Amino acid sequence: MTSKWYGLAPLLAATALALVSPAAAQTPPNVLIVGQIAEPQSLDPQVSTAVNDFRILVNIYDGLVRYADGTLEVEPALATDWTISDDGLSYTFNLREGVTFHDGTPFNAEAVKFNFDRMLDEDHPYYDTGPFPLSFNFSAVESVNVIDEHTVEFVLTEPFAPFLSNLAYPTGLIVSPQGVMDNVDDYGRNPSGTGPYRFVEWQSNTRVVVEANADYWDGAPALEAVVFRPITDANTRVAEMLSGGIDVMVEVPPDNVSQFEEDSAFEVYEQAGPHVWYVMLNARYGPFADKLVRQAANYAVNKEALVNEVLQGTATVSDSPIAPAFNWAYNENLEPYPYDPDMAGQLLSQAGVDSPEVTFYVTEGGSGMLDPVTMGTAIQADLEAVGFDVTIETYEWNTFLGIVNPGLGEDVDMAEMAWMTNDPDVLPFLTLRTGAWPEEGGFNSSYYSNEEVDELLEAARVETDIEARGDLYKQMQEIVYEDAPWIFVANWQQNAVTTQAVQGFSLQPSFLLQLHDVSKP
């Protein structure tokens, strides 16, 4: 694909200088430099699974719908409106006219059909441009039908309560069919959407650059360009922020929040959202195949200390696979496992386990992972205090995902993980169902299995009454709490810091980074 990005040459030169000499760096005017936590995996929204990537993607692409500012409520985007059949099996969308992809090709009903067929139809000619790990979100779609150029119909196999919310999630963003056809082998590095910013370049481990789309259907953004810089080390991100090398830093380390709050040169933003940080336990192999040992691990870990001392009060203690932000689905009757080393020891004795040896995979950092190395070390110490023999192995984020997502094998007993989701269905459906074992295309890397949990999750997906649906999730949480496939640790309150020059910035409950309305005069 081509792009008229030659006018950004001074910007790229200035950014390169900043990379060489951060202490003297000053970001270019009208250009936003964002310090990201990691290198992107892919700029194909149907391939990517990481919030780190999603923060870029929502600025390049649009979906049929999107989350309204400051909420998880759905509003029109590339679709102007829609109707739902009485039986809940058909959604018909009227599409916005006159919209083109960044490569100049038209957005229309055929483009919508291409996107979802590419993800869901194994016989589609471009299905092999995947894999599409979050296509689970649309598993109820039986067919996508072009009614006319600006009308498209989704036919479902059964009523599917999260459907509109899933369309607003990044997996539902619409890519250019021509862009995929022209870049079969590397579309993820040559993206083309309809969003407020056009892709310019991706220099590995250095920057992703996007420029303003002057023809954006919802109005041209004020910024000339945005540069997303992967800075994996948290201390380096802080140093870059303090020295003027970046304008925005996401996921501020807990130890540094007060430092930025007390400095008038910066603005700190916080926003609650549906985040869950946990340690998955291998329920298929090794000592954690025994429920008593999993429960022992939950009693052994001092989660209050993790939240208050390691995370400096930027999170609350977790007790469920559904975050409290989903108040209608969250089971308020549950209480976090208390810190009780004596109970942990009793359960280990009851299980007949003496000094169980476990291997613990920890990541250096990643989307929503907070302070994973420090947290991992503290968890190791708590487990060892009650008799576990814990060996930690630490990996870079993308390497970590490549090892953990295919499933915890016989040599891995536990691994850190965090999810930020748009609907209470997503996390348990993709990580706790038997049908979501990695071999089936899901993310149940713990190999946890409970038939009653499976039945409750399937029933909740098709229940359109929100109160009844919430009751199903609450029942599921009670069972999962007892089975303890994870060490439930924390629900984070996301944060970011900007310089005072940045205007119109806000954080979203979706954890997405919407930059259309941001300016830097």
Ordered DSSP codes for 277-292: EEEEE-SSSSGGGSHH
Contacts of 187 (CB under 8 A, 6+ apart): 44, 129, 175, 179, 180
Q: Which residue has the tokens 């892709």?
A: 199
Distance CA 173, CA 321 (A): 26
What percentage of residues in the chain have a pLDDT greater than 90? 83
Distance CA 306, CA 465 (A): 37
Res. 374: pLDDT tops 70: yes
Distance CA 268, CA 68 (A): 22
pLDDT digits (tens, 9 = 90+) for 284-294: 999 999 999 99
Identity of residue 340: D
Span 190-203, average pLDDT? 98
Res. 280: pLDDT tops 50: yes
- Residue burial 154-169, b: 16+ Cβ < 10 Å; e: rest: bebeebbbbbbbbbbb
Q: At what angle do helices 291-300 and 372-385 cross, to 10 degrees?
A: 110
Span 183-205, average pLDDT? 97
Strand 141-148 to 151-156 pairing: antiparallel
Mean pLDDT (the chain, rounded)? 93
Distance CA 521, CA 327 (A): 39
Predicted pLDDT of residue 74: 92
Query: What structural domains does the chain harbor?
Result: 6-18+25-247 (3.40.190.10), 275-492 (3.10.105.10)
What percentage of residues in the chain have a pLDDT greater than 70? 95
Res. 4: pLDDT tops 50: no
Predicted pLDDT of residue 6: 39
Give the model's confidence band at 25: pLDDT under 50 very low, under 70 low, under 90 confident, else very high.
Answer: low
Span 476-504, average pLDDT? 96
Res. 255: pLDDT tops 80: yes
Give the model's confidence band at 14: pLDDT under 50 very low, under 70 low, under 90 confident, else very high.
Answer: low
Between the two ends of the chain, the Cα-to-Cα distance in Å is 31
Contacts of 443 (CB under 8 A, 6+ apart): 133, 405, 430, 431, 436
Distance CA 35, CA 161 (A): 36
pLDDT digits (tens, 9 = 90+) for 394-413: 999 989 999 999 999 999 99
Res. 148: pLDDT tops 70: yes
Res. 375: pLDDT tops 50: yes
Predicted pLDDT of residue 471: 97
Strand 31-36 to 248-250 pairing: parallel
Predicted pLDDT of residue 13: 53
pLDDT digits (tens, 9 = 90+) for 343-371: 999 999 999 999 999 999 999 988 789 89
Contacts of 322 (CB under 8 A, 6+ apart): 276, 329, 330, 331, 424, 427, 428, 473, 477
Span 97-126, average pLDDT? 98
Give the model's confidence band at 23: pLDDT under 50 very low, under 70 low, under 90 confident, else very high.
Answer: very low
239 to each of 236, 246, 302, 310, 520, how far by Cα in Å? 5, 10, 31, 20, 21
Res. 72: pLDDT tops 90: no
Q: How many CB atoms lie within 10 A of CB 224?
A: 16
Res. 494: pLDDT tops 50: yes
Give the model's confidence band at 207: pLDDT under 50 very low, under 70 low, under 90 confident, else very high.
Answer: very high
pLDDT digits (tens, 9 = 90+) for 26-54: 788 999 999 999 999 999 999 998 889 99
Res. 434: pLDDT tops 80: yes
Res. 296: pLDDT tops 80: yes
Peptide bond into 22 cis (omega under 30): no
Predicted pLDDT of residue 15: 53
Contacts of 476 (CB under 8 A, 6+ apart): 428, 453, 456, 457, 460
Res. 377: pLDDT tops 80: yes
Give the model's confidence band at 24: pLDDT under 50 very low, under 70 low, under 90 confident, else very high.
Answer: very low
CA angle 246, 252, 258 (to 5 degrees): 105
Predicted pLDDT of residue 254: 85
Residue 93 parent element (H or E): strand 90-95
Strand 65-67 to 74-76 pairing: antiparallel
Model-level pTM? 0.78
CA angle 446, 450, 451 (to 5 degrees): 140
Span 276-301, average pLDDT? 98
Lowest-confidence region among 63-67, 445-449, 465-469: 465-469
Contacts of 5 (CB under 8 A, 6+ apart): 200, 201, 209, 211
Predicted pLDDT of residue 271: 87
Res. 301: pLDDT tops 80: yes
Predicted pLDDT of residue 5: 41
Predicted pLDDT of residue 136: 81
